[in-house]
Structure 1
């Protein structure tokens, strides 16, 4: 592979490579490369089977052998080892192309898998995946053809001054690549930490671990960004002015956004609202399915999801039906005629509630005469449930049907609105 920019040198090297690829030793290289592929495949299969690692969220293993990062990384290591063993024996031809291709495959698979795990279902992920693939394959073509050093030298000559620093196109490209690599590694580490923290966590423990995970990811991203800027050659002391400007912006224009972020960490730390709680916020009731740094997702029983800024959970009055006790009190009101047996009605109401398995037996359902209505006696049946997420109206409907059936079987009248009109005869 060429290492200088002269055209004649590149032609000589290409002629030598074409000559080497036609030699019988090239078949030996292909056989060794195929053996490396089979060995890498077998090792990954054994490890996946031993660890039962078939999680789509796993960066190393993925949902299949080709989906994870372990196979291309292991194949790259085996390829390097085979190249080192064969190089003293005869001139290499196949491995000169195979190693850059394997390196490109490993980089593409690593970048794509990390982005898929870190940003699930994000529309920008597909564009980033294609960008990583194009950059990697273009770099391989330029590397193998020997054009990469010449192009880098030309890009290094295009310079301009920014303050006291001199930047070039090559420096900017290398800085962008360095920043991308650092951020991908940072996302990989943070995703691994998040997966480990959130594994088999429930309730309040899940919320606390989610807070630690979000804080860890933010810290790692910040450190990775600083390392990337330092690698480019940017003086980090110059960021003090930018930090002051950001502080002023947060104080004025981004006040609500900053409040939501701070409120999110406060919620997760004090566990006043946890994943799985049944809450009522801004006249919207549902189950908390996820708590992010800026907003919380509340899913109602009808399937609708509400994205609520975390600031509302801190500054407004929130009803948490699951904070101290997951039991929820329900009631239904029934009117019967004034000539009905009060004791019998109260017993029938309690028995109707007990016909449903979701109604708690401790405390028992209770019925009480609560009002003397205009058309009849009004009774209120109170009962407790522990699973409001399974639906409340459906249970109330079943209990009302049982009440109606019991009252009809015992010939108890359910009054309907009626009016008595008194008329005076004309004198």
Structure 2
């Protein structure tokens, strides 16, 4: 026989053996006897389980609605139980029928029912165990793969199926990649990724509870642990299934060069994110201004920084913009923020009294610090119609907003000036009506003065 045709012959023989076995089982089920009776019993159990699923699911939903204060994980457990109530009922009923038939008839007459009960129970266990995989597509892939493997194993055809999947392979020179290898790699990597996620979550929780580590270093440490653990899990999974990565070194290098040119912005943002975490220029909770955006840092990502504004909008700002642009960090070294407001009073008001009233009014406003940084008021100029002042005060909670505190201070000044009869002037015009051109100028007593606010 030609050696090149041996894989195809083996594949054909494995496929033919599986088809023959399936046809034999179907023929035995279609023939009258206990195998057919067991199949009919299982169909009846499936219908009863479906009805119980509808009834018990509605009852469970009503029970949960009457409960208050349940946490999210409790509600998730209830949802998962409700979703698989039919399979749970089928496994329980099948086991009950199997135990009864074991005592009243020959064990061989209940073998298929016991096998179906065991298979249903294993499927339920796999479905709940797969919830540990957070990524939804990967979770479903792992769950389906384990379901198939458990089914084949309980049917005692796992070796034949493995041989069949191993025969379906792609061979290029010394490189051979079979369908069995791909499925095994996906399952093993999924399990290792799940273990890595559990370890990284526990480690991240411990790091975040350590108050001696700054917030930015906490983020960097958590991301570093995640990268290391997931990288180890991936390479261990690939090596566990026997895939040699040395042959992919040249190809991966070429791909890396191509990605380097095509993803310059992405790489720049990743590097900028690492720099931000290392130099501690910004950290979660800081209040920053970047252009027209004012808000506080919600989270630091690998590619962007999440900034939440006072109106609830969340801006995803690339890390490169924070490195290359001018950023105002209102709480970089401390939480103290100074705000300035300008106002003017009439020339007839005593400036010493105006300054004292302004300082006292600002100090009584909530959020304005009275110690250790007191409000101050200074004259900044003599305007056309008013004496101009600047009032400076400090706050230490910029996340509470800046516009609202300025507005509250303005209202306090308004009330205080009104109480002490201090006027806030506005520009005025004086219009004099003169005589005809060349004629005598009218007497000053005939002049008319019109006062009105100046145009904006």
TM-score bracket relative to the smaller structure: 0.7 to 0.9
Summarize deviations over 1:276-331 as a string: whole Å, max 9, x none.
Answer: 11111233111101011221101111111110111222222221111111111112
Give TM-score scaled by structure 1 length: 0.73
Q: CA separation of 1:227/1:334 partners in 2, compared to 1, >3 Å: closer, same or farther?
A: same
Residues matched between the structures, number: 363
**SS of 1:352 mapped into structure 2:** helix
Mapped to 1, the partners of 2:347 and 2:393 lie a distance apart of: 24
Mapped to 2, the partners of 1:138 and 1:177 lie a distance apart of: 12
Mapped to 1, the partners of 2:199 and 2:212 lie a distance apart of: 25
1:216 aligns with 2:225: yes
1:367 aligns with 2:386: no
Mapped to 2, the partners of 1:344 and 1:64 lie a distance apart of: 68
Contact (CA 8 Å) 1:114, 1:188: kept in 2 or not? Answer: no
**Cα shift at 1:144:** 2.6
Larger radius of gyration: 2
Give the CA RMSD over aligned residues: 3.7
1:179-258 pair list within 5 angstroms: 179-198=189-208, 200-201=209-210, 205-258=214-267
Mapped to 2, the partners of 1:311 and 1:291 lie a distance apart of: 13
**SS of 1:161 mapped into structure 2:** strand
Find the partner of 1:388 among 387, 398, 403. Answer: 398
Question: Structure 2 unaligned runs (5+)?
Answer: 1-16, 39-69, 82-106, 439-456
Mapped to 1, the partners of 2:381 and 2:424 lie a distance apart of: 15
Q: CA separation of 1:17/1:382 partners in 2, compared to 1, >3 Å: closer, same or farther?
A: farther
Find the partner of 1:330 among 331, 339, 347. Answer: 339
Find the partner of 2:320 among 292, 305, 311. Answer: 311
1:299 aligns with 2:299: no
**Cα shift at 1:10:** 7.4
**SS of 1:252 mapped into structure 2:** helix
Summarize deviations over 1:184-242 as a string: whole Å, max 9, x none.
Answer: 222222222222222x3569623212111111111222222222222343321123213
1:259 aligns with 2:268: yes
Mapped to 2, the partners of 1:374 and 1:162 lie a distance apart of: 89
Q: CA separation of 1:16/1:215 partners in 2, compared to 1, >3 Å: closer, same or farther?
A: farther
Mapped to 1, the partners of 2:130 and 2:119 lie a distance apart of: 16
**SS of 2:323 mapped into structure 1:** helix
Find the partner of 1:112 among 122, 131, 138. Answer: 131
Question: Structure 1 unaligned runs (5+)?
Answer: 21-53, 69-89, 120-124
**Cα shift at 1:350:** 0.7
